[in-house]
A = this chain, B = another copy of it.
Amino acid sequence: MTAATGIWPPAATPFREDLSIDMERYVAFCHELLRDGAHGLAVLGTTSETNSLDLEERKSLLEKLVNSGINPAQLIPGTGAASFGDAVKLTKHAAELGVKGSLLLPPFYYKGVTDEGLFEFVSEVIRRVNSKRLRLYLYNFPQQTGLVWSPELIATLRGAFPETIVGIKDSSGDEEYLNALLEKFPGFAIFPSSESLMIDALGKGAAGCISATANTHVKAIRALFDGWKSENVTAMNKRASAIRLLIASYPLIAAVKATLADQHKHRGWHRLRPPLTPLDDKQTAELREKLAELEAA
């Protein structure tokens, strides 16, 4: 099984007024992202508000996607949890559904833990899931977790579990870190979290990108991926990066959902589960206006 490449949006989650998941709308949206050019879906990520869903919801959502006819080989769900027990349950469940792989956050409650402790955590997950089919993509997001998958630890993990640890999603936005990974680990499936870093990273061997704004602009990001060696890549990249920069100038998940609400003309997209909060009306109107300008340009 080769590792994932291309554009894998972390599909956002629409909520009903009572904050329950609007499952029908969610499933339809995932199909739409694939139709619009996503190579696969990095579902149940940070943008999906996964850690604001309970464990049963996380499993149910993945089952619904597979039952709706999405090829599980096009799914890389987030299956991390603070405890290895819950991470094992989620990861095993996903592996049994036949997913391409799982995105694994480090255990994100305790801070200041050692690489040795993180290694043991991953080891326990792999040992307990106990499946030859298991493929893990590390999920690096120090701004949320307070923890980093250090290059040294990644090297140790790859050495210990060469078949299993196949890639990483790096949401740090730290280009120095990203470039260090790209240099040290050729053949590792490295996904920056923003299309604005993708073109440079593809030239250095990155696999693609897993970007919040692939929820709202998947066609353009796919075109950017397909055309990264083409003549007009600079112009495409400039345009995509301007849109990304605008959306990310607001609280990112709220801004993605406000834009989805506009695109789909449905209020449900505008809702977030606490502790996240939606953009206010003024922000929403301003974002809408500026985005329309960029898209018309």
Copies per complex? 2
B83 touches A144 (CB 8 A): no
* Cα distance, A107 to B82, chains bound together (Å): 12
Hey, what's the 0/1 contact readout for A256-284 against B, CB within 8 Å counting as 1?
00000000000000000111110000000
Hey, what's the 0/1 contact readout for A73-95 against B, CB within 8 Å counting as 1?
00000000111111001000000
Q: How far is the CB of A265 from chain B (nearest CB, A)?
A: 25
A275 touches B121 (CB 8 A): yes
Q: How far is the CB of A43 from chain B (nearest CB, A)?
A: 16
A120 touches B51 (CB 8 A): no
Q: How far is the CB of A57 from chain B (nearest CB, A)?
A: 6
B117 touches A275 (CB 8 A): yes
Choose among B54, B85, B86, B108 the residue that contacts A89 (Cβ–Cβ < 8 A): B54
A232 within 8 A of B: no
Q: How far is the CB of A72 from chain B (nearest CB, A)?
A: 24
A251 / chain B contacts, CB cutoff of 8 Å: 112
Choose among B52, B89, B118 the residue that contacts A274 (Cβ–Cβ < 8 A): B118
B54 touches A110 (CB 8 A): no
* Cα distance, A89 to B86, chains bound together (Å): 15
> Which has the most chain B C-beta neighbours within 10 Å: A57, A82, A89, A146?
A82
A66 within 8 A of B: no
A250 within 8 A of B: no
A2 within 8 A of B: no
A230 within 8 A of B: no
Hey, what's the 0/1 contact readout for A117-135 against B, CB within 8 Å counting as 1?
1111101100000000000
Q: Given A53-B85, A82-B52, A109-B51: A275 and B144 within 8 A (CB)?
A: no
* Cα distance, A54 to B112, chains bound together (Å): 21
Choose among B114, B120, B275 the residue that contacts A113 (Cβ–Cβ < 8 A): B275
A275 touches B106 (CB 8 A): yes
* Cα distance, A277 to B124, chains bound together (Å): 13
A277 / chain B contacts, CB cutoff of 8 Å: 113-114, 116-117, 120
A144 touches B111 (CB 8 A): yes
A55 within 8 A of B: yes
Q: Given A108-B109, A146-B146, A276-B110: A52 and B84 within 8 A (CB)?
A: yes
Chain B's closest residue to A106 (CB) is B275
A55 / chain B contacts, CB cutoff of 8 Å: 55, 86
Given contacts A109-B144, A120-B277, A124-B274, 6 further A-B contacts (CB under 8 A): A51-B83, A52-B83, A54-B89, A84-B274, A107-B275, A117-B275
| 11 residue pairs A–B, Cβ–Cβ below 8 Å | A52-B84, A52-B110, A54-B81, A55-B55, A84-B273, A109-B144, A112-B251, A113-B276, A117-B275, A117-B276, A121-B274
The 3 closest A-B pairs by CB, nearest first: A54-B85, A120-B274, A51-B109
